[in-house]
Structures are given as C-alpha cells and as structure tokens.
C-alpha cells in the first residue's frame, strides 16, 4: 500500500502533482495521455451502421469497428498535441496538472513522436478502408489540429469546431460502411455536440471562477448568461430537429415505421438531466466522465438505444 507523505509535525501532506504519474511506465503514461475514457465520443461512428441497415452486410460490422479504432487513435493524437501545447497552463489546473505531460512524467518530445507514429498508422488504416473514409479522417485530424493551435482561442468558433468533430465522426462511420447518411442526423449531431461543448464551457467558467481565464483564456470571452442563451437556442433546436426527423416522410419511408417518434422522451430527459447536472451539481466539465458516472443519464442513453433497436429491428418487423 502506498504511504502518504507526512510532515515533521506528523500531519499528512498532499502528494505533489504528477507523483503517481512518475511511478508509471512510459507505456502507461502514453496510454493515459491518449485518454481512453474519452473514447466514448467516438461511438458516433456507429450511427451509420445502426441507421443504415448495414449490420447484415458482409464485413460492415468489422468496417465500423475499424473506423471506431481509427477515430480513437486520431482523437488520442489530438489529445497528445493539445497536452504538449497546453502543458504550462495545465500545471495551474487542480486536475490537469496531474496529466503525464503537464506533470513532467512524459517528455513532450516523446509524446510528439508517439503522436506522429500513431497518426501515420491511423491515416494509413483509414485510407486502406476506403479513400472517402481516409479523406474524412484526414479532415478530422487537420481541423482538430488547427483547433488546438488557433481556433480554441476564437470565441464561438471554438465550440463550433468541437461540434464539427462529432459530425465528421458520424459522417466517417457512414462512409466506412458505405451508406448514405441523413442530413437530419448530421444536423442533430452538430446541434447535440454544440450543446455539450457550450455546457462544458459553462461548467469550466463557473467551477474555476477567477482562475478560469488562467486555465483557458477563451473563457474571458464568455459569461454564464451568454452561454445560457446559446444553450437555450441549441437545446430547443436539437429536440425539435430530432422530433421532426422521426416523423419526416423520408425517415418513415426508409425505415417503414413512424414509431421512432416514441423515442423522443429519451433525448428530452437526457438533455434536461445534463442541464440539471451543469446548473445544480456544477458538473459537465468532462462530458465523457459525466456520461459514465451519472447513472440516470447512462440508463437514459441505454434505454434510447434499446428502444431504437427494437423499433427498427424488432421481431415484429
């Protein structure tokens, strides 16, 4: 069992930031820097497989899994690049200061070399899968690299860029399994991702308080009131967009059912629950962590998936 440092007066002393990271191996620190817990965001890749009726097609599931792996690798590359660039600011953050690069446990040069190798492998795999998927993967890597270098410091464009990353994931997943993807779904994913990005900004602004701009200077351009106004617009647009998608003639004709409308309560509850966590629990700064740890939200997402699968693929179909 690890010992807690004790001062000469016999009082417990907090371990310095990164103390745990320095005891891990190089491979462990690299893996931690890739942030596997954040890979849930890449599940958007499977939307094309589910809504495109491609599960029974030869190789479609394997193609979707490979596409998911490619985006996990590419998002890991972006995290490495971002942590290298932001290591000085991260050292001032109570949580991010413990990341391997910020704490000094992982050298920036080593992280940069790993990012280059991982990007090359991921892009080679993407183009091997299909040229279209390769181009989308390259666009994703380029856009998020520009975001890390520049766009994250531009008000409004910072949130829009994050949202576009989710759209590229969904579009890439559809191209990987060779299905046309509904413009309605792409629009809703853009709006949903924008909702999450703006909520994340609000959580950071309110949680870090006076230290917010020192951690992320773009937060100086926002205020809780402004973000609340933006979130209200995006929330209403997302819910209406999803409802209209479920009853649109093209959707009904494609799936042969109008019962997708019955799934509307799930995104309604999920969005309201997320707003509750942001406003009443001061959570939402890490959307992936929130999704994994908040049981009502996790159950809501699971029930939505079950409802969609049963409506589209149930035995009565």
Backbone angles phi, psi at 179, to 5 degrees: -130, 145
Residue 130 shares a structural domain with residue 236: no
Residue 50 shares a structural domain with residue 157: yes
Containing domain of residue 139, as a range? 26-181
Residue 92 shares a structural domain with residue 107: yes
Residue 231 shares a structural domain with residue 172: no
d(CA 174, CA 183) in angstroms, rounded, equals: 12
Secondary structure percentages of the chain, helix, strand, coil, to 5: 80, 0, 20
Nearest to 103 by CA among 93, 91, 92, 112: 91
d(CA 198, CA 192) in angstroms, rounded, equals: 10
Question: Which residues does residue 12 pair with via DSSP β-bridges, in sequence order?
Answer: 6
Question: Is 16 inside any structural domain?
Answer: no
DSSP 205-228: HHHHGGGHHHH-GGGGG--HHHHH
**How many domains does one find in the chain?**
2
Cα 23 off chain centre by: 28
d(CA 205, CA 230) in angstroms, rounded, equals: 15
In tens digits, the chain (317 residues) has pLDDT values of: 344 344 444 443 444 545 565 677 888 888 899 988 888 889 889 888 877 766 656 788 889 999 999 999 999 999 999 899 888 877 877 777 888 888 888 898 999 999 999 999 999 999 999 999 999 999 999 999 999 888 888 999 999 999 999 999 999 998 998 887 778 878 888 998 899 889 888 887 887 665 655 566 788 888 889 999 999 999 999 999 899 989 989 888 888 888 999 999 999 999 999 999 888 887 766 777 787 888 999 999 999 989 988 888 776 66
Residue 35 shares a structural domain with residue 176: yes
Find where tokens 């191209």 sit.
175
Residue 140 shares a structural domain with residue 188: no
pTM of the predicted protein model: 0.81
Residue 88 shares a structural domain with residue 216: no
Question: Is 20 inside any structural domain?
Answer: no
Residue 43 shares a structural domain with residue 162: yes
Question: Is 4 inside any structural domain?
Answer: no
Backbone angles phi, psi at 6, to 5 degrees: -125, 135
Residue 209 shares a structural domain with residue 177: no
Cα torsion angle, 243, 247, 250, 254, sign: positive
pLDDT of residue 119: 96
Which of 181, 206, 237 corresponds to the end of one domain? 181
Question: Is 244 inside any structural domain?
Answer: yes
Return the structure tokens found at 186: 């792409």
Question: Is 5 inside any structural domain?
Answer: no
């Amino acid at each position: 069992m690890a010992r807690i440092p004790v001062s000469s007066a016999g009082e417990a002393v907090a371990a310095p930031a990164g103390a745990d990271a320095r005891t891990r191996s190089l491979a462990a620190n690299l893996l931690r820097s890739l942030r596997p817990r954040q890979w849930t965001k890449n599940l958007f890749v499977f939307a094309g497989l589910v809504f495109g009726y491609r599960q029974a097609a030869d190789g479609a599931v394997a193609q979707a899994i490979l596409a998911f792996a490619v985006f996990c690798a590419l998002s890991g590359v972006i995290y490495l690049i971002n942590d290298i660039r932001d290591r000085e600011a991260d050292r001032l953050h109570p949580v991010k200061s413990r990341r391997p690069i910020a704490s000094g446990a992982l050298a920036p040069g080593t992280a940069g070399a790993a990012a280059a190798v991982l990007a090359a492998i991921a892009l080679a795999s993407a183009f091997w899968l299909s040229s279209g998927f390769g181009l989308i993967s390259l666009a994703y890597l380029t856009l998020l690299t520009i975001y890390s270098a520049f766009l994250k410091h531009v008000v409004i464009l910072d949130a829009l860029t994050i949202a576009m990353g989710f759209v590229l994931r969904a579009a890439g997943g559809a191209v990987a399994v060779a299905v046309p993807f509904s413009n309605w779904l792409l629009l809703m994913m853009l709006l949903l991702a924008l909702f999450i990005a703006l909520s994340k900004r609000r959580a950071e602004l309110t949680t870090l308080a006076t230290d917010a701009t020192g951690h992320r200077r773009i937060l100086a351009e926002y205020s809780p009131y402004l973000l609340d106004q933006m979130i209200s617009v995006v929330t209403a647009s997302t819910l209406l967009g999803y409802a209209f998608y479920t009853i649109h003639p093209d959707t009904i004709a494609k799936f042969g059912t109008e019962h997708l409308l019955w799934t509307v309560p799930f995104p309604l509850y999920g969005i309201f629950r997320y707003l509750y966590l942001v406003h009443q629990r001061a959570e939402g700064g890490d959307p992936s962590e929130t999704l994994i740890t908040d049981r009502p939200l996790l159950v809501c997402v699971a029930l939505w998936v079950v409802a969609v699968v049963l409506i589209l693929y149930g035995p009565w179909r």
